[in-house]
Amino acid sequence: MKQSEHQRWIMHVDMDAFYASVEILDNPDLKGLPVIVGGRSARGVVSTCSYEARKFGVHSAMPLFEARRLCPHGVYLPVRPHRYAEISGKIMAIFRETSPLVEQLSIDEAFLDLTGMERLGGAETIAHQVQDRIQEELKLSASVGLAPNKFLAKLASDMDKPHGFVKITPEEAETMLAPMPVTKIFGIGRSAEDKLKQFGIEKIGQLASADVTILRKVFGINAEQVKRLARGLDERPVVNEEEAKSIGKENTFDYDLTDFESCRDEVLDLSGQVGWRLRRENLAGHTVTLKVKFADFHTITRSSTGDRLIAWDEEIFSLAEQMLRKINVKPGVRLLGVSVSNLFRPEDEPVLGFAEDERMQRRNRAIDSLKSKFGENIIKRGIVGKNK
Ligand code: TTP
Ligand code: MG
């Protein structure tokens, strides 16, 4: 197959032991000690820990009591989300000074598109400069991956942690991927792994040369894309936040939800909140996205794009619910999110008046006026006829 038209260079940066590193930054006496950050919520799990603590087997999402058993001499600290967000802002500012195309993935990681920066020294030099600036200006350690696309760049940043710098060239990508387990491909979770195993596919190399008809049985319409990833090919662009603008709401639960009904109730409530925000800003969108974070932090998103503009609670909910129905929530859901993207600002009311159901419009308007008078929490939408 032909090589993609032009050579891109994508950088992925991921901070090392982020929360723990910030705690050590603010209290240098902790340097070199096993520092475990977590707690403060009802769940009592480890958020993250320093690399010294990882030697004892402590890791993210582990119950704190287990961490204390493995590492009784560790320094246990509560999370300070505002402080981490503040530092995260400074890191992202360095990225934005470096490239006009920055896509933040989470509090401590982002993609930067460094394509076409030869005049500024080339992608590799710039990537080193970013890593050095984080170290010198913020006194924090980051790991860097530099590669022709997002998939490889993210893989690379994780290959030599902490303070790694791994570059993958287009030529070496396929050979390097071949012996890796299929789960290294983002989106291949345990269930896909099990199904692939039934076809004798365990390594990325086998995936790359597998028959597409077999892959369709596991990945459906995404089969071709998975096969391309397995060959180290990925065309997804780095997307700036403004372009990715969406209106959404998520909710993290104190206890994992394990049944469809509870999840549906939450999705209904979230849909109402998102709908209200959309209408308040006089926006409507084409795409509804459902985000599900499971108890083990594995996160999936499902999107559904309609051909007409969506702004009413019921329409958002109906699409979100359809997507939820296809997801197995039994392993435990810790977070649900609903968002609407592909936003447009209808010029005037009639454009929004596409909904056939007059009653639905009246109901939404009535709720909106209550919410704007008394605040967002005055009404929580629920399934009619369900006993709580
Ligand atoms: P990660 O980048 O996954 O982890 P890390 O930065 O602590 O360590 P690494 O060097 O392996 O990248 O997550 C970033 C932060 O997100 C982490 O510092 C704390 C938070 N987090 C949680 O609160 N719970 C979790 O289960 C995970 C994985 C992360
Ligand atoms: Mg990190």
Would you state the structure tokens that stand for residue 83, as one six-digit string?
A: 């402080």
Residue with tokens 């662009």: 237
- The single residue of 52, 103, 109, 314 carrying the catalytic annotation is 109
Q: What is the tens place of the pLDDT at every residue in 49-105?
A: 999 999 999 999 899 999 999 999 999 999 988 899 889 989 999 999 999 999 888
Q: What is the tens place of the pLDDT at every residue in 235-282?
A: 888 888 655 578 999 999 989 999 999 999 999 999 999 998 888 877
Q: What angle do CA 248, 326, 154 make, to 5 degrees?
A: 60
CB contact at 8 A, 34 and 74:
yes
To test ligand 1's pocket by mutation, which of 23, 51, 77, 108 has the most ligand atoms within 8 angstroms of CB? 108
Given a cut of 50, whether residue 4 has pLDDT beyond it is no
Range scoring the smallest mean pLDDT among 8-17, 33-42, 342-351: 342-351
CB within 8 A of 167, min separation 6: which ones? 124, 127, 145, 146, 147, 156
CB contact at 8 A, 38 and 61:
no
Pairing relationship of beta strands 299-310 and 333-344 according to DSSP bridges:
unpaired
Q: What is the tens place of the pLDDT at every residue in 138-170?
A: 999 999 999 999 999 999 999 999 999 999 999
**φ, ψ for residue 144, nearest 5 deg:** -125, 140
Higher pLDDT, 380 or 131: 131
Q: Is the Cα torsion angle 171, 173, 174, 179 positive or negative in sign?
A: positive
**φ, ψ for residue 355, nearest 5 deg:** -65, 130
Smallest CA-to-CA distance from 198 within 217, 224, 178 is with 217
Question: What is the pLDDT at residue 307?
Answer: 65
Residue 239 C-alpha to ligand 1 middle, in angstroms?
22
Confidence band for 213, pLDDT divided at 50, 70 and 90: very high
Smallest CA-to-CA distance from 60 within 296, 292, 293, 252 is with 296
CB contact at 8 A, 233 and 4:
yes
pTM of the model: 0.67
Q: What is the tens place of the pLDDT at every residue in 307-338?
A: 677 888 999 999 999 999 999 999 999 999 99
Given a cut of 70, whether residue 2 has pLDDT beyond it is no
Mean pLDDT of 331-353: 71
Q: Is 109 a catalytic residue?
A: yes
Range scoring the smallest mean pLDDT among 49-58, 174-183, 352-361: 352-361
Q: Which amino acid makes up residue 169?
A: T
Question: What is the pLDDT at residue 359?
Answer: 64
CB within 8 A of 96, min separation 6: which ones? 102
Smallest CA-to-CA distance from 67 within 101, 109, 35, 114 is with 35
CB contact at 8 A, 142 and 166:
no
To test ligand 1's pocket by mutation, which of 12, 14, 16, 18 has the most ligand atoms within 8 angstroms of CB? 18
Question: What is the pLDDT at residue 279?
Answer: 85
* Measured CA distances, 342 to 56, 245, 289 (Å): 46, 8, 11
Task: Report the distance separating Cα 117 and Cα 113, nearest Å.
Answer: 9
For the chain, percent of residues with pLDDT exceeding 90:
64
Residue 52 C-alpha to ligand 1 middle, in angstroms?
15
Q: Is the CB of 153 under 6 A from ligand 1?
A: no
- Which residues partner with 362 through β-bridges? none
Mean pLDDT computed over every residue of the chain: 87
Q: Is the CB of 201 under 6 A from ligand 1?
A: no
Q: Is the CB of 16 under 6 A from ligand 1?
A: yes
Range scoring the smallest mean pLDDT among 10-14, 122-126, 139-143, 188-192: 188-192
Residue 388 C-alpha to ligand 1 middle, in angstroms?
36
